[in-house]
Amino acid sequence: MKTETSIQGLSASLQTARAARKVIGFVATMGNLHEGHINLVREARRLCDVVVVSIFVNPTQFGPNEDFDNYPRTLEQDSHLLAEAECDILFAPSVEQMYGSRPRLTNIRVEKITEDLCGLQRPGHFDGVALVVTKLLNIVQPTYAFFGEKDYQQLAVIRQFVQDLSIPVDIIGVPITRAADGLALSSRNGYLSEEQRNTAPIIYQLLQQAKAKLLQGVALDVVLNDVKQGLDQAGFVVDYVEARATNLLHVETFEQDVVLFVAAKLGNTRLIDNLMVKYSKSIG
């Protein structure tokens, strides 16, 4: 595996692949990699000739009260994992390399769907994501880019600006990777104490129960409320429990496929998860 830290170096490394019309797959990460990231890399490996993974802790997606400086940086360990997963090129630029020293005057803002769910608690977060992902897609120019469905809203935002800006890439959503007890894998799980780690899988258990109830015909608002109560009782501080259509539009009832969303804190650690429930006319 090659490591490139400059845009020029990466372009040079990709020149032969581009000339030979190889299929380039791209996975964007902020490092501190876990099995969820590695599954994105495996999916890229399966579908593409050349796999590029970026590790860049992007300052523009952190709010003023979010800890950019203390975000875990584990480049050496991440490099080993990527080499094992047969990544071809690791792109690990500095902030200076990505943003330069001149003031930036351009923003990329996706409306509406960024102002809901996680966007309410993290104003500006998705603007930062949209900006850095646009830059990375322009730099790498992949055929396919792979993003996890765990960050469902992020994936929807990326799909939206890729379409709106006619960026020539196919965005592939990859299903959530879960631990054996159902907890969605996340870099943040590392912040949980042993006790909190034992409590955390309740999120997925409640989502599954919610799905079963919806399929039995229980009303959507009742189901969402049960999830909220279950989380409260288990000691979570609930940020939101919501249902949306798959395109993130609001829904009042379960009369189409819906995605159930949870964001809740255990101590200082904010966990998110989601589960899609497919609608069929025979429900209830």
Catalytic residues: 37
Q: How far is the CB of 219 from ligand PAF (least distance, A)?
A: 34
Q: Which of 10, 14, 29, 266 binds ligand PAF (CB under 6 A)?
A: 29
DSSP 3-state of 193: coil
Output the CA torsion 25→27→33→37 (10° steps): -80
Q: 151 or 242, CB closer to ligand PAF?
A: 151
Residues 47 to 86 in contact with ligand PAF, rule: CB under 6 A:
58, 61
Residues in CB range of 198: below 8 A, 6 or more apart: none
30 known member of a binding site: yes
State yes or no: 149 annotated in a binding site. yes
CA-to-CA separations, 104 to 3, 5, 56, 124, in angstroms, rounded: 27, 21, 18, 15
- With CB under 6 A as the contact rule, the residue among 30, 40, 50, 108 that binds ligand PAF is 30
Applying CB under 6 A, which part among 28-36, 68-76, 101-109, 202-210 lies near ligand PAF?
Answer: 28-36
Ramachandran assignment for 182, one of left (phi > 0), alpha (psi -120 to 50 degrees), beta (any other): left
From residue 151 to residue 180, the character string flagging contacts with ligand PAF as x (rule: CB under 6 A) and all else as - is x--x--------------------------
214 contributes a contact to ligand PAF by CB under 6 A: no
- What count of other Cβ atoms lies within 10 Å of the Cβ of residue 182? 16
Distance, CA of 59 to CA of 137 (rounded, Å): 17
Q: Which of 132, 169, 243, 259 forms a contact with ligand PAF (CB under 6 A)? A: 132
13 is in an annotated binding site: no
Helix, strand or coil, per DSSP, at residue 222 = helix
- Beta-strand ranges (E) seen in 80-223 are 89-91, 144-148, 170-174
Residue 277 near ligand PAF by CB under 6 A: no
- Known binding-site residues for (R)-pantoate equal 61, 154
Q: Which residues bind ligand PAF (CB under 6 A)?
A: 28-30, 58, 61, 129, 132-133, 151, 154
- Known binding-site residues equal 30-37, 61, 148-151, 154, 185-188
